[in-house]
Amino acid sequence: MPSRRSFLQTIAAATLPLPVLSNLSYCNTQVHEGEPVLRVAIMGLGGYGNMVARAMKDCKLAKLTGVISGTPSKIKTWQQEYNIPDKNCYNYENFDAIKNNPDIDAVYVITPNALHHDQVIRVANAGKHVICEKPMAINAKEGQEMVDACRKANVKLLVGYRMHFEAKTLEVIRMRNAGEFGKILFFQGLCGFEIGDPKQWRLNKELSGGGSLMDIGIYAINGSRYMVGEDPVWVTAEETKTNHEKFKEGVDETIQFQFGFPGGAVASCLSTYAMNNLDKFFLNGTNGFAEMQPSTNYGPIQGRTHKGELTQPHITHQTVQMEEMSRILLQGKKPIVPVDGEEAVKDLKLIDAIYLATQTGKKIPVSL
């Protein structure tokens, strides 16, 4: 595949023919009369921003009302597609003016990783709620500063953990919480694809903050926590690089990493930009197992447990995510798995520890 952008677009196109279910009963997202609607501006009108916008067409509780972009031609296209008035369109220099715009409740930041920190803080200072794509920042220090800024501004900060609302994923979590797997012993998370264009921002450390770990690897990091149901207490890791021309200093190609959990479970994970066909989770316990492949792509997710196939219906992930985030932001709903900034900082602490482990070759203790 030539790039992750084309990967995103290919997956999106592949899922378009699938029916969108209006009764989102499994995720408890039936819409009731009188529920407030979240008015959202999207910042960053690239491939994933387009995917979120399309998915929001099916939302009842979230509506796209504004855009923020550095590319005027994209803004014009989006205005025509989504009927967005001029007064709700901003660029990266003037978007602080959203402070005075009652048409916008929240901004969804979908820009390169290294830009999230300053952009999220600016949105918070403008008095708007923030949804930020993952990873939330390039390290835990910046992530905590974002959390603190949003708390100081009395706005909420959520992160685009769409899998936290996915039906088959939630069923595995339910089974684990009910003890159906017994004592959890092992988790495996394999996440990767062969990245294309060497000039894209994901391979530019100044914009990405790293390489595969700062992109596809976040799924294994976060997934290990919600699948096992605990936070790791130690990390080991090793980096492998076969193409030093494409993957410059500070841009990781492949990292294998391991976690240890307080209950005794261990995790073995892989994050790579050098191999396709890697999107698999496996959870093993004394009484059973869960296996998901694909486990985190845009769907439909496929999986089975020792009790049989997972059959929950596929619903466009971003549609469910935005419906649920509307309830979190406007109604104070508590999700089954957290999607707030504090949750994201935990993942960033693990990313910091993984990179430290690759540099030192040591087992790194962590406290989340």
Tens-place pLDDT, residues 246-291: 999 999 999 999 999 999 999 999 999 999 999 999 999 999 999 9
Q: 27 vs 165, 289, 302, 336, CA distance in Å?
A: 7, 22, 17, 10
Least confident of 2-11, 30-39, 354-363: 2-11
Catalytic one of 134, 205, 280, 349: 134
Model confidence at 294, in pLDDT bands (50, 70, 90)?
A: very high
State the sign of the Cα–Cα–Cα–Cα dihedral 316, 319, 323, 328: positive
| pLDDT tens-digit series, residues 61-88 | 999 999 999 999 999 999 999 999 999 9
Average pLDDT of the segment spanning 168-183: 98
Residue 157 and residue 133: Cα distance in Å, rounded?
11
- Residue 23, pLDDT above cutoff 60: no
Average pLDDT of the segment spanning 205-220: 98
Catalytic one of 161, 219, 226, 298: 219
- Residue 16, pLDDT above cutoff 90: no
- Residue 2, pLDDT above cutoff 70: no
Percent of the chain with pLDDT over 90: 91
| pLDDT score for 58 | 98
Q: Which residue has the higher pLDDT, 91 or 22?
A: 91
Model confidence at 30, in pLDDT bands (50, 70, 90)?
A: confident
Residue 212 and residue 273: Cα distance in Å, rounded?
6
| pLDDT score for 3 | 41
Q: Residue 210: which residues within 8 A CB-CB, separation 6 or more? A: 138, 250, 251, 252, 351, 355
Residue type, 175: M
Residue 199 and residue 165: Cα distance in Å, rounded?
33
State the sign of the Cα–Cα–Cα–Cα dihedral 348, 334, 117, 246: positive
For domain 4-162, give the CATH superfamily. NAD(P)-binding Rossmann-like Domain (3.40.50.720)
| pLDDT score for 21 | 38
| pLDDT tens-digit series, residues 311-352 | 999 999 999 999 999 999 999 999 999 999 999 999 999 999
First to last CA, the chain: 36
| Token representation of residue 243 | 């193409």
Q: Exposed/middle/buried for 244, CB within 10 Å: 0-12, 13-18, 19+?
A: exposed
| pLDDT score for 33 | 82
| pLDDT score for 15 | 37
134 is annotated as an active-site residue: yes
User: What pTM was estimated for this model as a whole?
Assistant: 0.92
| pLDDT score for 337 | 98
**Residue 322, phi-psi category: left (phi > 0), alpha (psi -120 to 50), beta (remainder):** alpha
Sheet holding 184-192, edge to edge: 308-309, 303-305, 289-292, 278-285, 184-192, 266-272, 254-260, 234-240, 364-365
C-alpha count within 13 angstroms, C-beta hemisphere, residue 317: 22
Asked if 270 and 189 count as a contact pair (C-beta separation under 8 A), the reply is yes
241 is annotated as an active-site residue: no
| pLDDT score for 29 | 55
**Closest to 306 measured CA to CA, from 282, 293, 287:** 287
| pLDDT score for 31 | 78
38 SS3 class? strand
CATH architecture of 163-313+341-365: 2-Layer Sandwich (3.30)
Domains 4-162 and 163-313+341-365 share a fold: no
| pLDDT score for 367 | 98
- Residue 5, pLDDT above cutoff 80: no
| pLDDT tens-digit series, residues 102-134 | 999 999 999 999 999 999 999 999 999 999 999
Helix (H) or strand (E) holding 14: helix 4-15
**Closest to 131 measured CA to CA, from 99, 152, 104:** 104
Q: What are all long-range contacts of 223-226, with beta carbons under 8 Å and residues at least 24 apart?
A: 223/163, 223/187, 223/189, 223/281, 223/295, 223/296, 224/187, 224/189, 224/259, 224/267, 224/269, 225/346, 225/347, 226/163, 226/164, 226/169, 226/173, 226/337
SS3 content of the chain, % helix, strand, coil (to 5): 40, 20, 40
Domain ranges of the chain: 4-162, 163-313+341-365
| pLDDT score for 291 | 98
State the sign of the Cα–Cα–Cα–Cα dihedral 295, 4, 201, 272: positive
**Closest to 162 measured CA to CA, from 302, 345, 319, 50:** 319
Residue 246 and residue 249: Cα distance in Å, rounded?
10
**Closest to 259 measured CA to CA, from 229, 288, 289:** 229
